[in-house]
Structure 1
């Protein structure tokens, strides 16, 4: 197996377009507390740093400062609304299924590293037919600090049985790019994801328009490292 031995994917905004279901559940919890829901475009910019950050920033945008037990309670309430509907309107992004199957067929070890809770992430991976090729799913509640801290990437690589020098990260946000850089791991960013910063300003090694370009991006990175195909 040529480099990379392992490919680690973010979930929301990279493999799946989960924005509609996140937006709906977040809007419902806001409305339950008398606050107006945010537009879907605003919620797009809130995704990527974990559920606690998502809920806290959503309420802060309505002038409500959530900390301590109040934040813990709102997060639990949000999850109780979101998790049952997590696959209602969520869909795989174009070419994800085909390219993931191809990469697994070539012998790459595939994993998911997300700030989303692990159980719902595993359920989503299974729902969209990716549980076979994807061998490890590490969520934000796994134990180490969430991305952009690199520890979740280290944990995912360990579960896949590889070192970070044998892996590549595929993501859509600053959290993904910064975590990969901190881990010493090359990173490919997708153009279509959830980020408040233009994706080409994130500092990824390669930016792709969609998953059909991922094999070429990996070939580029392989060549840049002087690896033999």
Structure 2
């Protein structure tokens, strides 16, 4: 646990969660979608761990990284065309191989019972996000669901976080962002929020090096880590 924020940490009125790598392990489904797209262009498949390292920044960035890794980089109109082709493929691979990260339901139940408002903020498209959350019966915990196409700028811009907080009617200084990557840290900082990062997500850089206020081994550790940080404040 990073206790660098202990002097200014207070119990948040709202918690915003990233989706991929934070609440769900979607890498196998995303890899299946990427490989279907590549196969349509007679390109070899990528391994799940390769695709896992490409997640973050939205679907177009994923497509760009996948074609670059396949040895056939795309730009401009060709990239836009591949991104359009990816849309229906992506929607076919949302929940077949995706699983909840450890402790998700327990932790959301904990904060729900404590009266903490919660939302999901992700660069994944809005409809795909909602379908996944409905599949896992998580929408009942959430007062805001903001996908990447609901705002003009994706994380690390703060737009999605601020939209979610507006829907929850909570000020940024009263909220905590929980994610797994540098884009979550950047978005939280730009929004004026504290941020916690979880180990075991999709970042290729150790979470301890990303400048979060709090680092947890998993989502299950978040409530107790927050309590320890509050006690030290």
User: Is 2:26–2:97's contact at 8 Å kept on the other side of the alignment?
Assistant: yes
User: Is 1:188–1:217's contact at 8 Å kept on the other side of the alignment?
Assistant: no
> Take 1:190 and 1:79, find their aligned partners in 2: how far apart are those partners?
29
> Take 2:147 and 2:50, find their aligned partners in 1: how far apart are those partners?
24
- From 143, 146, 170, the equivalent of 1:162 is 170
> Take 2:73 and 2:27, find their aligned partners in 1: how far apart are those partners?
24
Taking a change above 3 Å as real, the CA distance of residues 223 and 158 of structure 1, as seen in their structure-2 partners, is farther
- From 30, 45, 56, the equivalent of 1:37 is 45
> Take 1:221 and 1:157, find their aligned partners in 2: how far apart are those partners?
23
TM-score, L = length of structure 2: 0.91
- From 198, 222, 225, the equivalent of 1:190 is 198
Residues 77-111 of structure 1: CA distance to partner in whole angstroms, max 9, x if unpaired? Answer: 22211212200010111110111011011101000
**Residue equivalent to 1:108:** 116
> Take 1:193 and 1:126, find their aligned partners in 2: how far apart are those partners?
22
Deviation of the 1:30 alpha carbon: 0.9
Say yes or no: does 1:93 pair with 2:119.
Answer: no
Deviation of the 1:67 alpha carbon: 2.7
Q: How many residues align?
A: 224
- From 102, 108, 130, the equivalent of 2:138 is 130
Matches within 5 A, 1:1-229: 3-223=11-231, 226=233
> Take 2:115 and 2:229, find their aligned partners in 1: how far apart are those partners?
17
**Residue equivalent to 2:5:** none
> Take 1:28 and 1:214, find their aligned partners in 2: how far apart are those partners?
36
**Residue equivalent to 2:3:** none
SS of residue in 2 equivalent to 1:204? coil
TM-score, L = length of structure 1: 0.93
Deviation of the 1:127 alpha carbon: 0.9
Structure 2: 5+ residue stretches without partners: 1-9
Deviation of the 1:223 alpha carbon: 4.2
> Take 1:180 and 1:221, find their aligned partners in 2: how far apart are those partners?
18
SS of residue in 2 equivalent to 1:47? coil
Taking a change above 3 Å as real, the CA distance of residues 221 and 159 of structure 1, as seen in their structure-2 partners, is farther
> Take 2:106 and 2:133, find their aligned partners in 1: how far apart are those partners?
14
Residues 100-159 of structure 1: CA distance to partner in whole angstroms, max 9, x if unpaired? Answer: 011011101000000000011011111111110111110110123000111111111111
